[in-house]
Amino acid sequence: MSRLFTSTQRLEKTSAVITAYPYTIAAWVYDDGTSTAFPFLVGCSTSGTTVSTTRIQMLLDNTGKVATDGATTTAARTTNTWFHACCVETSATGHAVFLNGGSKGTGTTSITFPTGMNRTSINAWNAGASVGIAGNMAHVAIWKVALADAEVLELAAGILPTRIRPQSLISYWACNARDSGEIDPISANDMTNFSSTSNANTPRISQASFIA
């Protein structure tokens, strides 16, 4: 299962689960090709503003590359197929993004960690704004550490986020749409659902995730 979104639908938690560097964000995404430019995927922000210095985000740029404010992947996603997106932020000057575990892009621009953020969002960071993807998302996760390249590759190979450094996993949303909201079994950072629906379309998860 996964969550099916239009560009205006979202999941939201009214607090920021990311509070400092380092951190890692990862998600499986299915873009149906009708998304608006620069669709937001996952991040934290300050309500009532769209200023870049008041948010952290993983998104797609206008060419379909996975991006943050500090880095962009070297290749673009393919529409109408599942892909894995990940950003790893080690510090104010250490930024990396990945598409399907590779196509790594890096950056060293100094980005001060925002203060005053008060929400965490999947697929939109501003209520009513058409800034998300049109398509599906699943297995969204956030860690309080910078994952290694090899760990990002494991996620892209279908290993569940709960099997990668579980002691440092802040939140995990399967996006299985089985509840009115979205449950976080790790830290109870449950999200309110704003109109997204359940969908049978789902990414491939490795059987190794279920082997003790």
pLDDT, tens digit, 9 for 90 and up, residues 140-157: 999 999 999 999 999 999
Residue 180 has what pLDDT?
A: 77
- The closest of 173, 175, 176, 171 to 186, measured between CA atoms, is 171
Q: Given a cut of 70, is residue 211 above it in pLDDT?
A: no
Q: Identify whether the C-beta of residue 12 lies closer than 8 Å to the C-beta of residue 5.
A: no
Mean pLDDT of the region 72-85 = 97
Q: CB-based contacts of 120: which residues, under 8 Å, 6+ apart? A: 12, 13, 15, 16, 17, 18, 43, 44, 171, 189, 191
Q: Is the dihedral of CA 9, 15, 20, 24 positive or negative?
A: negative
Give the rounded percent of residues in the chain with a pLDDT score beyond 70.
91
Tens digit of pLDDT for each residue in 154-191?
999 999 999 999 999 999 999 986 667 899 999 999 99
Quick one: pLDDT at residue 138? 96
